[in-house]
Chains A and B, each alone.
Chain A
Amino acid sequence: MEEVLYNVLGAIATFLVAFVVGMTYGGLNRKITARVQNRKGPPFYQNFIDTLKLASKKSAIHHGVMQHFGPAFLMVTSVMSLLIVPVLTHNQWFPNLNFHGDLIFLLYIMVFGPLGMALGAGQTGNPNSAIGITRGLSQMVGYEIPWVLALVALMIQYHTTSIVGLMAVQAQSGTWLMFSSPFAFIAAVMAMLGMFSYSPFDVVIAPAEIASGPASENGGKYLFTMMSSGSVFAFVKLTLYVDLFMGGADNIVILLVKTFALYMIPVLYSLTTVRYRTEQSIRWFWGWPSFFGLLAILQAVIF
């Protein structure tokens, strides 16, 4: 009974930490972007104000039952993957409901949110939403290839399909997987650029072109749910990369340092480039990232 209580309270605490950290990272992204463009920029807590404002909108119109599913599925995906990914090692306040094969389960669950969003955006009837969803699913086909190749390489090389197993491998050998399987790390980081869909891979949102795509009919509380689930999901992705390739984290400070260092890769890369077209984006992911993914598989099979 006590264990269940710890798990429930721990899940709530994990969600709050993920929300606050994800939101703050988003705000720091806006601040860094502004400083690079020689602006003062909004305060780092601007995203909290934006979500509070969206939550306190008095009306939020919807076009049918299915529209609720889009933001709700996104939120469900974020929370589910948050509970599977171990946030801190050896800490009872951050329970991880992991099991054998959770890495494969995570691969499936990470595409669940965009598919739910496709259902929701279809109901709105906005042509921009339909275009955005098409682009999003196409781009997902692009970056899933190097991402899956990298994960399969890890699974073959270390004979385990659980995240905790891979963390145990790193703890035993004392080297991070980003050094012992570098090609998988390179392929996975290149796939991460697509997952965050910052520039140049922001073909889904593209505000000046298709009016923010799938979100274009969602205002008020729907947009609030989407923004907060996006922040939580960003935290999940960064924590997963830290767990897989950088040996996990023992306390919250190390976790923040490692995740922030990883987060700077898509942020700084986005500042140097402009938006690709969808086919250019897919071609990019099927080029060098997939090549490094194949190298990782070769390394896993041969060595």
Chain B
Amino acid sequence: MINDKNSQKIVDIIQNWARKHSIWVLGYGTGCGSIEIPPTMTSRYDAERLGVRGAATPRQADVLLITGYLTTKTLKRVIRVYEQMQDPKYVIGFGSCTINGGMYYDSYNTIKVLDKYLPVDVYINGCMPRPEAVLSGFGQLQKRIAEGRADGAKQYKENLEWYRANQKKIIPNWVMPEYNW
């Protein structure tokens, strides 16, 4: 009775409800987009009322927030951070730079499409996206979590070879520890 499908469905609903209302964000703030995070968190827009809270380390975080462009140098660190996070984990691509390169579309040392290297669950468009847009992005993520469609981490595991091949094209000296996440 405990292991049948219906009771598992009920457990999933409860767990997804908890995941939806408690989003701990690890902001990877190297790009200019991170300037929009303080107003989102502080008194004017107050993301904490939705359960969105900052996390100190990747082990505790649920969401990796990539704010803006990623250089080829920082990509390696982002991959390490993402692989240290615990399941279930989500990635939000923040700003135009993560979608198609944005204003850095012809730069020689930034990556253009984030989705080739990490599984992005939600994109927030704009340059810069205002705090309203950021909150709407978190709302989209909450909706996807509640429906059980935010399964980027699962896709990453299934298509690991494809992701690794793309990552190794950018990072020539691949000296990374093996993770048993």
Residues on A lying within 8 angstroms of B by beta carbon are 30, 34, 37-43, 46, 49-50, 52-53, 56-61, 128, 207-208, 211-212, 215-220, 223
Whether B18 lies near A40 (C-beta < 8 A) is: no
> Do the beta carbons of B87 and A212 come within 8 Å of each other?
no
B56→A59 contact, CB < 8 A: no
**Chain B residues in 8 Å Cβ range of A207:** 54, 56
B62 partner residues in chain A, CB cutoff 8 A: 53
Within 8 A of A (CB), among B89-116: none
How far is B54's CA from A254's CA once the two chains are assembled, in angstroms? 36
A37 touches B43 (CB 8 A): yes
Q: Are A46 and B42 in contact (CB under 8 A)?
A: no
Complex-state Cα separation, A56 to B59, whole angstroms: 14
The closest CB in chain A to the CB of B59 belongs to: A219
Q: Which residue, of B54, B60, B62, B180, has the highest number of chain A Cβ atoms within 10 A?
A: B60
Q: CB distance B43 to A46 under 8 Å?
A: no
- Does A39 contact B56, Cβ atoms closer than 8 Å? no
B37-57 contacts to A, CB under 8 A, are 42-43, 46, 48-49, 51, 53-54, 56-57
Residues in B with CB closer than 8 Å to A39 are: 42-43, 46, 48-49
Residue B148 CB within 8 A of the other chain: no
Q: Is the CB of B22 within 8 A of A217?
A: no
Q: Are A219 and B60 in contact (CB under 8 A)?
A: yes
How many B residues have CB within 8 A of the partner chain? 26
Are A52 and B18 CB-contacts (below 8 A) given A39-B43, A223-B60?
yes
Q: How far is the CA of A38 from the CA of B44 in the complex (A)?
A: 8
Given A60-B86, A216-B56, check contact A49 B18 (CB 8 Å). Answer: yes
Nearest B residue to A207, CB-CB? B56
Contacts A39-B48, A41-B48, A217-B57 given; indicate if A56 touches B19 (C-beta within 8 A). Answer: yes
Q: Tell me whether B43 and A49 are in contact (CB under 8 A).
A: no
Cβ–Cβ contact B86 & A219, under 8 A: yes
CB distance A50 to B22 under 8 Å? yes
Extra 5 A-B pairs, beta carbons < 8 Å, given A58-B87, A211-B57? A34-B48, A40-B46, A49-B18, A215-B56, A216-B60
CB–CB B56/A211 < 8 A: yes
Q: Is the CB of B21 within 8 A of A41?
A: no
Cross-chain contact A42 with B57 (CB below 8 angstroms) = no
Q: Are A220 and B86 in contact (CB under 8 A)?
A: yes
Among B138-181, those with CB < 8 Å from A are: 180-181
Residue numbers in B under 8 Å from A56 (CB-CB): 15, 18-19
A34 closest partner in B (C-beta): B48
Once A52-B18, A61-B180, A212-B60 are accepted as A-B contacts, the answer to whether A46 and B86 lie under 8 Å apart by CB is no
CB contacts (< 8 Å) of A52 on chain B: these are 14-15, 18, 22
Q: Are A38 and B43 in contact (CB under 8 A)?
A: yes
Give bound CA distance, A59 to B18, whole Å: 16
| B43, A57: Cβ atoms closer than 8 Å | no
Q: Can you report 24 residue pairs joining A to B where beta carbons are below 8 Å apart?
A: A30-B48, A34-B49, A39-B43, A39-B46, A39-B48, A39-B49, A40-B46, A41-B46, A42-B53, A46-B22, A49-B22, A52-B18, A53-B22, A57-B88, A58-B87, A59-B86, A59-B181, A128-B57, A207-B56, A212-B57, A216-B57, A217-B59, A218-B60, A223-B59
Chain A residue nearest to B21 in the complex (CB): A49
Contact B48 A42 (CB under 8 A): yes
Q: Which of A42, A53, A58, A212 contacts B18 (CB 8 A)?
A: A53
Chain B nearest CB from A230 CB (Å) reads 14
Q: Determine if B46 and A34 form an interchain contact, defined as CB atoms under 8 angstroms apart.
A: yes
Chain B residues within 8 Å of A223, by CB:
59-60
Chain B nearest CB from A222 CB (Å) reads: 9
| B88/A58 in contact, CB under 8 A | yes
Give every chain A residue within 8 A of B86 (Cβ-Cβ).
57-61, 219-220
From A46, A53, A211, A223, residue with most partner B Cβ within 10 Å: A53
Residue of A38, A39, A40, A128 with most partner-chain B CB within 10 A: A39
Chain B residues near A40 (CB-CB < 8 A): 46, 49
Task: Report how far A211 CA is from B180 CA in the complex, Å.
Answer: 23
Give the distance to chain A from B10, nearest Cβ to Cβ, in Å. 13
Inter-chain CA distance A224–B18, complex, in Å, is 13
Smallest CB gap from B41: residue in A = A39
CA separation between A211 and B43, bound complex, in Å? 23
